[in-house]
Amino acid sequence: MERNSEQLRNIALIAHGGSGKTSLAEAMLFNAKATTRLGRVDDGTSNFDFEPEEVKRKASLSTAFHDCTWKKHIINIIDTPGDDNFLSDAKFSLQAADAAVVVIDATSGVKVGAEKVWGFADEQELPRIIFINKMDRERADFYKVVEETARIFKIKATPLFVPIGSEANFSGVVDLVRKKAYTFAKDLSGKFTIGDIPSDMESVVSEWRETIIENIVEVNDDLMEKYLEGESLSDQEIEATLLQGIKSGAVIPILCGAGLANIGVPQLMDLIVQKIPSPLERPPKKGVVPGTEEIIVRPPSAETPFSALIFKTVADPFAGKLTIMRVFSGTVESDSSVYNANKDIKEKLGQILIPQGKKQQPVQAAGPGDIVAVAKLKETATGDTLCSASDPILYTPTEGLPAVISYAVEAKVKGSEDKVFSSLAKLVEEDPTLKLERDQTSAAVILSGTGQIHLETTCEKLARKFGVEVTLNPVKVPYRETIKKPVKGVVYRHKKQSGGRGQFAEVHFDVTPLEPDAGFEFDEALTGMNVPRNFVPAVEKGIQEALMSGILAGYPVVDLKVRFYDGKSHEVDSSEMAFKIAASMCLKKAVQEASPTLLEPIMKMEITVPEDVMGDVMGDLNSRRGRVLGMDSQGKYQIIKAQAPMSEVLKYALDLNALTGGRGTFRMEHSHYEEMPAQLQEKVIAAAKEEN
């Protein structure tokens, strides 16, 4: 079928993990004959969850795409992950969608992940459909979940369909607008017969029909007036107003069904093609002229200059890098050249591909609304804008979720450290929520991500795609050492007399503490000729080396000043080496006398939690030696601003999850260093001695 933007529907499936998004997506593909058999997540035959890590965990860890043709329209299905560890990917992928289907499990209702992804859809201002799934399961309760979605999402409950039976007796749906019953075959075929409403459902149906018509007519003042005056409304008027309401986001329709049993899915697909906006009906996309703050808008039309946003990158060991973009305006052809507005460079595109699960379908060109991939772009990364060089535009991409947990990555095979770093760097391109850095003091490779499973699957991918095996170790807290009082006139003589030439050097130091974060100061204050000046660099080098590892627990020594004011030398036996050793030993001696102490890193934290768990979270912070600095409120959430020692919050992501039932989030960054309480210093010092 010729791809036409008007016939295109880009629909993202979003939900809390385990709500059955992928099974629903499989049923859509099967009904549209894009696949010949119903793919199943549980037996590893899914067209969406095809990465080995996904097959193993039976869950989506990365967004997958597949298109299918339904009633002369193309539905582009964007199947996003619902697991908390991978929600950033869902957030990025919603930039490519024109609407979202929010999938809710009929047995467990609205869970925290659904609230989070609903917020992402708000940010992109997407029209939505709610699909209450798993109606065939035990304890499925349609009406309870409808009430819950209305309350939690603050919307008017507008179910367009209600279920016929539930649990094992769930057999179909009643269309409240058209007043018809659709009864499904129990053979997973998605085939149904159309009939009259079962007599025992008439009162429920008329009650809900009244409710949804009230919600629908609110969209149109003329219709509202007609309705209030008691005039009867035609099905056409109701349908037209419903269309207007869904496209504008004023009405959020609720449907129900069972993805795995393929019941109620064709009705969802009909609603998508009939009532979801095509890319051409979406508002123009706002951007800026690169290098300025001048706002420009791009209407979604094939005639306007080309522009697209890169919202995902996949590192493929065979095809190299696959860059996935959503075209917002204009058209782009295979083997053409485009402009990257972020990097100010031209990129040569090869073959344009339409992603279909793990395969890709080559096409000659792509227009507004198309989601396409290109291989092997050199400079382009997730979040970049590609556009026409003659009329450039720069879009602001959405931000990922903050990295909240870090581990030190160690190569299982000694000597492959560089390969670990370079291979991880490729995975960071694919997943911008991963952070990769080297610890300055220990040279360890530190990998941070949005959760424990996020980092574990990253390591599995690393082994599978690049053949690099690693282990994740707890991050070592970068303690520092310093001194609390000044010492004057510390003398150290280094003298070695054995056969041949001896070694001789003597240095005199004053050592004083400095302000926090002042670092190290060296003051050369020699007078007279006791020490030849050519030995001064060796003295400074000796001090610098001694500062690398302190006397308490071997951590770097900071915030002190050394005044080198005198010493002695010998014209034959003195050498740079002798002065370096003397300086190093003299500093160690001075630090010992200057009441050395340990400093610990303090983190600045911003913790967002629902009001009902705020007391627990604050109590927990106090138990971690945390200090609450202030509070802010944001809707039904409270934002706690606090500081806490790094050693107490290394695994905070896991603990906050447990405390808040997954509803809490936080950001954290280094703030400053502070002296550590004496009794805790002893533990750190003892641990360091044991390690050495």
Q: What is the rounded average pLDDT for all residues in the chain?
A: 90
C-alpha distances in Å from residue 25, one per residue of 263, 309, 355, 452: 13, 24, 15, 27
Contact present, 601 and 663 (Cβ < 8 Å) = no
pLDDT value at 67 more than 90:
yes
pLDDT value at 643 more than 50:
yes
Give the range among 92-96, 398-402, 405-409, 496-500 with minimum mean pLDDT.
Answer: 496-500
**Interhelix angle for 202-217 vs 235-248, to 10°?**
60
Report the greatest alpha carbon distance in the chain: 118
Q: What is the pLDDT of residue 689?
A: 86
206 and 65 in a common domain: yes
652 and 570 in a common domain: no
497 and 366 in a common domain: no
pLDDT value at 317 more than 70:
no
Interstrand relation of 128-133 and 253-256 (parallel, antiparallel or unpaired): parallel
Task: Find the CATH number of the domain harbouring 296.
Answer: 2.40.30.10
Question: How far is it, in rounded angstroms, from Cα 339 to Cα 95?
Answer: 20
Question: How far is it, in rounded angstroms, from Cα 551 to Cα 591?
Answer: 8
18 and 112 in a common domain: yes
Please list, in sequence order, all residues whose beta carbon lies within 8 angstroms of the beta carbon of residue 57, skipping any fewer than 6 positions away.
457
Q: How confident is the model at residue 130 (pLDDT cuts 50, 70, 90)?
A: very high
Question: How far is it, in rounded angstroms, from Cα 217 to Cα 224?
Answer: 5
Question: How far is it, in rounded angstroms, from Cα 301 to Cα 283?
Answer: 11
Question: How far is it, in rounded angstroms, from Cα 158 to Cα 176?
Answer: 10
* Inside any domain, residue 539: yes
Averaged pLDDT for residues 638-661? 91
664 and 545 in a common domain: no
Q: What is the pLDDT of residue 319?
A: 66
Q: What is the pLDDT of residue 206?
A: 92
Averaged pLDDT for residues 508-535? 93
| Number of domains present in the structure of the chain | 5
According to the 3-state scheme, what is the secondary structure of 102-144?
EEEECCCECCHHHHHHHHHHHHCCCCEEEEEECCCCCCCCHHH
Rounded to the nearest 10 degrees, how much is the dihedral formed by the CA atoms of 355, 360, 365, 371?
Answer: 0
455 and 502 in a common domain: no
Task: Find the CATH number of the domain harbouring 417.
Answer: 3.30.70.870
Q: How confident is the model at residue 232 (pLDDT cuts 50, 70, 90)?
A: confident
Task: Find the CATH number of the domain harbouring 151.
Answer: 3.40.50.300
pLDDT value at 42 more than 60:
yes
pLDDT value at 420 more than 90:
no
Share of the chain above pLDDT 90, in %: 63
Among residues 571, 594, 617, which one ends one of the domains?
594
Q: What is the pLDDT of residue 227?
A: 84
Q: How far apart are the first and last CA of the chain?
A: 69
pLDDT value at 2 more than 60:
no
177 and 63 in a common domain: yes
* Inside any domain, residue 356: yes
Question: How far is it, in rounded angstroms, from Cα 644 to Cα 656?
Answer: 14
Question: How far is it, in rounded angstroms, from Cα 31 to Cα 37?
Answer: 10
If residue 207 lies in a helix (H) or strand (E), which one and from where to where? helix 202-217
Contact present, 74 and 2 (Cβ < 8 Å) = no
177: burial class by Cβ within 10 Å (0-12, 13-18, 19+)?
Answer: middle
356 and 460 in a common domain: no
What are the beta bridge partners of residue 297?
286
13 and 131 in a common domain: yes
If you search the block for the tokens 């951590």, which residue do you land on?
555
Q: What is the DSSP string of 276-343?
A: SPPGGGSPPEEEE-TTS--EEEE-S-TTSPPEEEEEEEEEETTTEEEEEEEEEES-EETT-EEEETTT
588 and 608 in a common domain: no
* Inside any domain, residue 507: yes
pLDDT value at 292 more than 50:
yes
Question: How far is it, in rounded angstroms, from Cα 362 to Cα 393?
Answer: 27
Q: Is 553 helix (H, G, I), strand (E, B) or coil?
A: coil
Q: Which tokens hold the place of 682?
A: 């002893």
Contact present, 347 and 385 (Cβ < 8 Å) = no
Q: Tell me, what DSSP letter sits at residue 550?
A: -
Comparing C-alpha atoms, which of 329, 258, 237 is closest to residue 26? Answer: 258
Q: What is the pLDDT of residues 7-17, one digit of tens each?
A: 999 999 999 98
* Inside any domain, residue 236: no
Question: How far is it, in rounded angstroms, from Cα 24 to Cα 42?
Answer: 13
Comparing C-alpha atoms, which of 444, 426, 231 is closest to residue 321? Answer: 426
Comparing C-alpha atoms, which of 164, 668, 618 is closest to residue 401? Answer: 668
Boundaries of domain holding 320: 285-387
Among residues 594, 619, 645, which one ends one of the domains?
594
* Inside any domain, residue 400: no
Among residues 560, 594, 628, which one ends one of the domains?
594
Question: How far is it, in rounded angstroms, from Cα 238 to Cα 593?
Answer: 87
Q: Tell me, what DSSP letter sits at residue 449?
A: E
Interstrand relation of 99-105 and 73-79 (parallel, antiparallel or unpaired): unpaired
SS3 content of the chain, % helix, strand, coil (to 5): 30, 30, 35
Interstrand relation of 560-568 and 520-524 (parallel, antiparallel or unpaired): parallel
Residue type, position 113, single letter: G
Q: Which tokens hold the place of 316?
A: 């493929």
pLDDT top residue among 186 and 438: 186
What are the beta bridge partners of residue 645?
602
What are the beta bridge partners of residue 511?
487, 562
Interstrand relation of 192-195 and 180-184 (parallel, antiparallel or unpaired): antiparallel
Question: How far is it, in rounded angstroms, from Cα 150 to Cα 255?
Answer: 13
Q: How confident is the model at residue 237 (pLDDT cuts 50, 70, 90)?
A: confident
Q: Is 264 left (phi over 0), alpha (psi -120 to 50) or beta?
A: left
* Inside any domain, residue 81: yes
Q: How confident is the model at residue 99 (pLDDT cuts 50, 70, 90)?
A: very high
* Inside any domain, residue 54: yes
pLDDT value at 610 more than 80:
yes
If you search the block for the tokens 């659904």, which residue do you land on?
114
Q: Which tokens hold the place of 351?
A: 């073959």
Task: Find the CATH number of the domain harbouring 669.
Answer: 3.30.70.240
Q: What is the pLDDT of residue 378?
A: 85
pLDDT value at 1 more than 50:
no
* Inside any domain, residue 392: no
According to the 3-state scheme, what is the secondary structure of 459-518?
HHHHHHHHCCCEEEEECCCCCEEEECCCEEEEEEEEEECCCCCCEEEEEEEEEEECCCCC
456 and 505 in a common domain: no
607: burial class by Cβ within 10 Å (0-12, 13-18, 19+)?
Answer: buried
pLDDT value at 164 more than 90:
yes
Give the range among 17-21, 28-32, 257-261 with minimum mean pLDDT.
Answer: 17-21
36 and 164 in a common domain: yes
If residue 31 lies in a helix (H) or strand (E), which one and from where to where? helix 21-31
pLDDT value at 627 more than 80:
yes
Task: Find the CATH number of the domain harbouring 548.
Answer: 3.30.230.10
Give the range among 120-124, 227-231, 599-603, 620-624 with minimum mean pLDDT.
Answer: 227-231
Q: What is the pLDDT of residue 117?
A: 93
Residue type, position 409, single letter: V
